[in-house]
Amino acid sequence: MCNNMMHHDEPAKDTIGEEVRPMDDKSSDVMNIDGLAEYLKLPKSTVYKLAQSGELPGRKAGRQWRFHKEGIDKWLLESPAVGGSENGGE
């Protein structure tokens, strides 16, 4: 048998030898404004304003915004609540 054949129990490697993960891996989830608005249960206009102001962790790809779910989840856990009166006006 040829030694160049990949064994089925070995993970796939890219050209520099790093393991290739499937596209449906949770860490590769990327959302646009529409998807993020649905995920956060906010109006698209609010998500767009938060992205434009730099409050949301995201990047523009051309004219479109892209957000990694992992970054958004971290932002949700670490960012202080915005709006409302829970802080007593502080």
- The domain spans of the chain are 32-78
Residue with the larger pLDDT of the pair 88 and 77: 77
Q: What is the pLDDT of residues 18-59, one digit of tens each?
A: 555 554 555 459 999 999 999 999 999 999 999 999 999 999
Tell me the CA distances in angstroms from 89 to 82, 84, 85, one per residue in order: 12, 9, 6
Binning the chain into helix, strand and coil, the percentages to the nearest 5 are 35, 15, 55
For the cut 50, the answer to whether the pLDDT of residue 89 exceeds it is no
For the cut 90, the answer to whether the pLDDT of residue 11 exceeds it is no
pLDDT at position 87: 47
